[in-house]
Chain A
Amino acid sequence: MIDRPTDMGAQTTPEFEEQRRAWERESAAGKPRSGPGSGAVDRTISDIPLKTVYAPADVAHLDLPRDLAWPGQYPYTRGIHPNGYRDRLWTMRQFAGFGNAKQTNERYHFLLSQGQTGLSVAFDMPTLMGYDSDAPQARGEVGKCGVAIDSLADMETLFEGIDMGSITTSMTINGPAAIAVAQYIAAAEKKGIPRRMLGGTIQADILKEYIAQKEWIFPPRPHMRVIVDMIAFCTEQMPRWNTISISGYHIREAGSTAAQELAFTLADGFAYVEACMKAGMDVDSFASRLSYFFNAHIDFFEEIAKFRAARRIYARHMREKYGAKNPKSWQLRFHTQTAGCSATAQQPENNIVRVAYEALSAVLGGTQSLHTNSMDEVLALPSEKSVEIALRTQQVLAYETNVTNVVDPLGGSYYVEALTDEMERQAEAYFAQIEEFGGVVEAIESGFFQREIAEASYRYQRSVEAKDRVIVGVNAFQKNETQSDLELLRITEEVEREQARGVAQVRAKRDADRVQVTLDRLQAACRDPKDNLMPHLIDCVNAYCTEGEIVEAMVKVYGRYVERSVF
């Protein structure tokens, strides 16, 4: 960085220097504490070394106009809105979905009546992996960690009685994302709501699936084509739709450090930007509708630094490297979810407290929307009671604590600014390494990310084992637990049978010829890289082809991905 004088903090004076020396003497004479957790007082949860105290010298290199500026100004370190949350609070968006479409629809009506402002669909594993509910691979999984959507019929039920033109919907699905968007469009259009009116977000981030979450279908290269087609289509026809949500959440859940989450997520984002530009799209035509999704873990300041660094890095790359002209293209907007992996099965009520601190870090980091986990998610799907507590946690934060009254309240903290810089430095180092592989896809194929994450998660686990780090109720302050009295939500096997019957009925009632014709056309389009897949997918969906049938047709052309095991 350029060496320029900073005006952060007071100019040093002889008196201040004398004070510094006195502090150094006293500090050096201190005795390190012992006991649980004392093994890691000198580093963050991601192993970033920490000083005892931070001072003006740690931020001396900061150039205020260049590195911080003001809220709403490039490089957006202090936030993308000039007035922060004064103009508009974040969107409280609780992820929900379980059982069949009808059950989930009821939960949506409940959440909307409780003041939630957007819907978020969690799909079940078979849907996420592209299998119908009656496929042998779906045994025992139907409706378990989300809602089962086999065909357009289920999507219609899911949004029954909900005005799809006035709410926004976030759909967490990746491998079959393009199919889910096609179903959403078709369901809305059957109600007479045109696609240009639809607002929401589709996750569709396939790269992080190979890196961390492992919900893939096709190999990376053809999968990227499907995603680029979907982005191009939505960019043109759905002006209120966020075309992709590039996600670090799952990378973190897989055990990465904060810096890895930051670096790998942004690297993925840049890979999509490059792929779209290579497909002939103008960067400013699509960039403003890319959004991000981060994890809020328990190391409070590190998380805040991560969010601030993310905005700064993104803005710099979008403007300088990709030549975006529209300020909207430089702004990183993100959703945050509290860290599922920080929750514990032991003394699950403690998770309420963890979630509250994590949510606070997301808000101090300037998130645009937030999901707070429910205390019992580590045991099962959340119950209605625990979902309510999670939502109330956000409401208390938003309306009672007053943390929303000042924009970027930690801006200028010597510690937070130094940590923000360190995050940026580590991310750039990772970008350079990825570049050496030849790009994100090549690094995936070489197992680079997978190895880095496995290493970090093993290191972390060892530090917990050694009690260098304390997890309350797990490796310290345990109590002999009898059965927890939490009431858990259970999905019965009946859902699986019902859902399998439902999909059989759909198959029996539809026009079989139309199914064949639309699937054939889709396959032909898969072979022709110039033919956008989306209109074909919408045709298939409208013909009531099931998700499994559509995926199978595409697998015949693209193949299914098999991962090399990396440790």
Chain B
Amino acid sequence: MALDRPLRVIVAKAGLDGHDRGAKVIARALRDAGMEVIYTGLFQTPEQIVQTAIQEDADGIGLSILSGAHMTLFPLVLEQLAAQGADDIVFFGGGTIPPEDVEELTKRGVRAIFTPGAPLQEIVDFVRRECGKRRAPAA
């Protein structure tokens, strides 16, 4: 008698940058698409973000970084996820990130990076698809 339970997604801001416009717009869009969004607030460390994702049993983590620290903070989150045995959580991100870095980060395991101008619908569709896959029984 399992019911459809909304997807749960962490929207996180890491590091010292306080530009939360994008994160908040995404959080609202995911909410309006029927998901439960846990917004971490600003200035979270990678460790805090991963602990939050575990306790909240999140299907995905979306990390927004606009300060240029992405090559440090994204890998730290990946490392934490692996260390906690939680790398099944769909980890994606967004921000002011040059194409070469996007490539490098996706190679390392970030599932997608959305740069400024990415349509909300594209992000919503991505989260729905990838997190949905995670939910589906491994048949």
Contact = CB atoms under 8 A, between A and B. Distances in A.
Given A140-B15, A457-B24, A380 B68 contact: yes
A138 B68 CA distance: 12
B17 A458 contact: no
A450 to B, nearest CB: 9
6 A-B pairs with least C-beta separation: A140-B72, A214-B18, A144-B68, A140-B69, A125-B16, A474-B117
A170 B69 CA distance: 25
A380 B98 contact: yes
A19 interface: no
Contacts of A128: 16
A548 interface: no
Contacts of B96: 345, 378-380
Given A125-B67, A129-B16, 19 more contacts: A136-B45, A137-B15, A139-B76, A140-B15, A140-B70, A141-B69, A253-B21, A254-B21, A255-B25, A344-B116, A380-B98, A457-B24, A461-B120, A465-B119, A465-B120, A465-B121, A483-B100, A567-B24, A567-B28
A344 B70 CA distance: 19
A71 B71 CA distance: 51
Contacts of B41: 562-563, 565
Contacts of A381: 68
A567 B100 CA distance: 33
B68 A145 contact: yes
Interface of A: 125-126, 128-129, 131, 136-141, 144-145, 209, 213-215, 253-255, 341, 343-346, 378-381, 454, 457-458, 461-462, 465, 471, 473-475, 483-484, 488, 491, 493, 562-563, 565, 567
B15 A141 contact: yes
B33 to A, nearest CB: 12
A565 B38 CA distance: 11
B86 interface: no
B22 to A, nearest CB: 9
B71 A140 contact: yes
B115 interface: yes
The binding surface of chain B is classed by DSSP as loop
Interface residues of B, number: 36
A139 B20 contact: no
B27 interface: yes
B35 interface: no
B117 A471 contact: yes
B73 interface: yes
Contacts of A126: 16
Nearest to B46: A139
Interface in B90-114: 96-100
Given A140-B71, A214-B42, A567 B27 contact: yes
A349 to B, nearest CB: 14
A140 B15 CA distance: 8
Interface of B: 15-21, 24-25, 27-29, 39, 41-43, 45, 67-73, 76, 96-100, 115-117, 119-121
A209 B21 CA distance: 13
Contacts of A129: 16
A515 to B, nearest CB: 25
Nearest to A131: B16
B18 A213 contact: yes
B25 A461 contact: yes
A344 B117 contact: yes
A465 B71 CA distance: 29
Contacts of A145: 17, 67-68
Given A378-B96, A565-B41, A567-B24, A141 B67 contact: yes
Contacts of B119: 465, 475
B105 to A, nearest CB: 13
B98 A379 contact: yes
B69 A125 contact: yes
Instruction: Determine which residue in A126, A141, A253 has the highest number of CB atoms from chain B within 10 A of its CB, and name it.
Output: A141
A457 B21 contact: yes
Nearest to A144: B68
Contacts of B27: 567
A457 to B, nearest CB: 6
10 contacts: A125-B15, A125-B16, A138-B16, A139-B69, A213-B19, A379-B99, A461-B25, A461-B29, A465-B120, A562-B41
Nearest to B13: A214
A346 B99 CA distance: 11
A141 B117 contact: no
A482 B80 CA distance: 33
> Considering residues B16, B68, B73, which has the most beta carbons from chain A within 10 angstroms of its beta carbon?
B16
Contacts of B15: 125, 137, 139-141
A565 B73 CA distance: 22
Contact of A458 (B25, B69, B73, B97): B25
Contacts of A380: 68, 96, 98
A393 to B, nearest CB: 21
Contacts of A131: 16
Nearest to B99: A483
A380 B21 CA distance: 18
Nearest to B66: A145
A379 B98 CA distance: 5
Contacts of A462: 120
Contacts of B67: 125, 141, 144-145
B41 to A, nearest CB: 5
Contacts of A484: 99
A461 B32 CA distance: 13
A491 B43 CA distance: 21
Contacts of B97: 379
A199 to B, nearest CB: 30
Contacts of A144: 67-69
Contacts of B28: 454, 458, 567
A106 B121 CA distance: 44
Looking at A131, A144, A343, the one whose CB has the most chain B CB atoms below 10 A away is: A144
Contacts of B71: 140
A491 B68 contact: yes
A139 B24 CA distance: 24
B116 A378 contact: yes
A343 B71 CA distance: 23
B53 to A, nearest CB: 17
Contacts of B72: 139-141, 493
